[in-house]
Amino acid sequence: MKKKIIVIGSGFGGLGAASRLLSAGHDVTILEKRDKLGGRAYVYEMNGFKFDGGPTVITAPFMFDDIFEAAGKKREDYVEFVPCDPFYRIFDAEGKHFDYNNDQEFVLDEIRKRNPKDADGYQKFFNTTKAIFQKGFVELADQPFLKFSDMLKVAPDLIKLQSYKSVYKYVSQFIEDDFLRRCFSFHPLLVGGNPFDTTSIYAMIHYLEREWGVHYAMGGTGAIVNALEKLIREQGGTIYTETEVDEILVNGGKATGVRLQNGETLEADEVVSNADVAFTYKNLINPKHRKKYTDKKIERTKYSMSLFVIYFGTRKRYLDSGLAHHNIILGERYKGLLEDIFHKKRLSDDFSLYLHMPTITDPSMAPEGHEAFYVLSPVPHLDADVDWNEMAPRYRNAIMNFLEENYLPDLQENLVAEHYIDPLHFKDVLNSYKGSAFSVEPILTQSAWFRPHNKSEDIDHLYFVGAGTHPGAGLPGVLSSSIIAENLIGKA
């Protein structure tokens, strides 16, 4: 039966779900709070620069192809993907770098330069991640975990794969060099996890990169958002921006529609929330309808870290700076820094950074002769005692001074565009509980059945897609959740 479906939010989880549900024959309306679509992938345009606000590393590109194919279209006709080589350039605290890509011999040579003994260990590590990837991604990522028995069925495999170990511990069994351990264990940070706490299932991210490559969308990740918007409109979907949902209407335990901030109500047969799960339960659903997701349960849940991100453009190019498209700049401290961010909830004076330089691959992201960047630093979420209104300019200066002294000479006199976001942006603009950048923290006790389900445990006809539900954050994760939502709702 053709259903009237409302999708709250237009992050990649929401866009994926909307297009898939249209392909399944339903009538779909997207309601987005902001003036443009994309959620964390919002694009900031200023002085001729285009800055992708969030995701830049495209892994598992076939997941986008599948959405277009389901609609009878070809992704290539809408947006072009190009491979990145190296995948990442990772700098140590002395500024020496390590590159990796999907050429095994190249990676082994890079490892030998650091520590010849680790070449064998890496091969063993890589071989074991294949089984983790097969189970964790291929078999389980797009399956709903609605019953505890679903969890029991996979438990023996999870034990066999050593999922009780952290990613760092898992990697350390095979790799001896401290810096190389960091290079092969940082991946949980890409989905909001601490490598010292996140289940080793997330070691599969490295395998996933090697299997399908790391890609960039020409025109930036925003070009994928535009492509999906075009597709959804062609499919007959309705999109409203600057339209914030104030309440999900519930009658007799069933979601029946939404009330907007302007007081208007819209009816629906099914509601799919792509807004942060914790925010949705706490702020969009009257507590009298919530048995499991009480305010207490929401408060008890652990949330991922937040981020401080500076988008900046320079009037000169930095092609001889030794930087690659995707750079990770590690500081002296690794475990201690992560401890401060995730456990002590303390903003440290030191930092580790991800530096994005898209103009290396795609000069169209900046005016001619200019360079576009963004730099990101993981910081604690809003449980930390930090007044970001006062701290943000100081933190910005510390990062920009560091970059100028170590990587980008004369940076500040060449700046011609700049914007930054902090944990308050995640809370106030993106409606993320505690200003978390990746929602519910990906630890074993908050994964699969233990994570907020894709079909609400409290309210019928309410579904979740996006970072806070199963399987979790990152583009492959949120796109997997959109497959689950489509399967649970079914075809018209």
| Sign of the alpha-carbon torsion through 15, 21, 24, 26 | negative
SS3 call for 174: coil
Residue 41 as a binder of ligand FAD (CB under 6 A): the answer is yes
Q: Is 400 in the site for ligand FAD (CB under 6 A)?
A: no
Which range of residues in 74-82, 165-173, 381-389, 474-482 is near ligand FAD by CB under 6 A?
474-482
Please state the closest distance from residue 232 (CB atom) to ligand FAD, in A: 14
Three-state SS for 455?
strand
CA angle 356, 225, 25 (to 5 degrees): 150
Residue type, 76: E
**Residue whose C-alpha is closest to residue 340's, from 332, 172, 431:** 332
Say if strands 326-329 and 88-91 run parallel, antiparallel, or are unpaired.
parallel
Which of 45, 405 has the CB closer to ligand FAD?
45
DSSP 8-state class, residue 367 = S
Of the candidate spans 48-56, 84-92, 175-183, 222-230, the one that interacts with ligand FAD by CB under 6 A turns out to be 48-56
Is residue 12 a contact point for ligand FAD (CB under 6 A)?
yes
State how far the Cα of 482 lies from the Cα of 20, in Å rounded to an integer.
8
Contact flag: residue 220 with ligand FAD (CB under 6 A): no
Q: Which of 430, 448, 462, 489 binds ligand FAD (CB under 6 A)?
A: 430
Binding mask 253-292 for ligand FAD (x = CB under 6 A): ---------------------xx-----------------
Nearer to ligand FAD, 17 or 111 (CB): 17
- Can you tell me which of 67, 223, 245, 357 binds ligand FAD, judged by CB under 6 A? 245
Strand ranges (E), 252-389: 254-260, 265-267, 270-273, 306-314, 326-329, 353-356, 371-379
Residue 344 is classified by DSSP as I
Residue 309 near ligand FAD by CB under 6 A: yes
The Cα-based distances of 274 to 25, 48, 314, 346, 485 in angstroms read: 20, 31, 35, 30, 11
Which is nearest to 10 in space by CA: 242, 264, 219? 242
- If one counts every other C-beta atom within 10 angstroms of the C-beta of residue 235, the result is 18
Closest contact distance (angstroms) between CB of 319 and ligand FAD is 22
Asked whether the beta carbons of 472 and 484 are under 8 A apart, the reply is no
Task: Write the binding mask 18 to 37 for ligand FAD: x where contact by CB under 6 A, - elsewhere.
Answer: -------------xxxx---
Binding of ligand FAD at residue 380 (CB under 6 A)?
no
473 in Cβ contact with 439 (< 8 Å): yes
Contacting residue, 90, 225, 478, 484, with ligand FAD by CB under 6 A? 478
At its nearest, how many Å lie between ligand FAD and the CB of residue 106? 22
Told to check if 193 binds ligand FAD by CB under 6 A, we report: no
| Span from 18-26, 137-145, 205-213, 470-478 in contact with ligand FAD (CB under 6 A) | 470-478
CB of 431 to ligand FAD, least distance (A): 4
Q: Which residues ranging from 436 to 455 are in contact with ligand FAD (CB under 6 A)?
A: 437-438
Q: Quote the tokens at residue 324.
A: 């690659």
Residue of 352, 431, 436, 446 interacting with ligand FAD (CB under 6 A)? 431
Q: Which of 43, 403, 462, 473 binds ligand FAD (CB under 6 A)?
A: 473
Question: How far is residue 205's CA from residue 197's CA, in Å, rounded to a whole number?
Answer: 16
- CA-based nearest residue to 354, from 305, 393, 303, 413: 305
Question: Does 90 interact with ligand FAD (rule: CB under 6 A)?
Answer: no
Interface residues toward ligand FAD, by CB under 6 A = 8-14, 31-34, 39-41, 54-57, 190, 244-245, 274-275, 307, 309, 376, 430-431, 437-438, 466-467, 473-475, 478
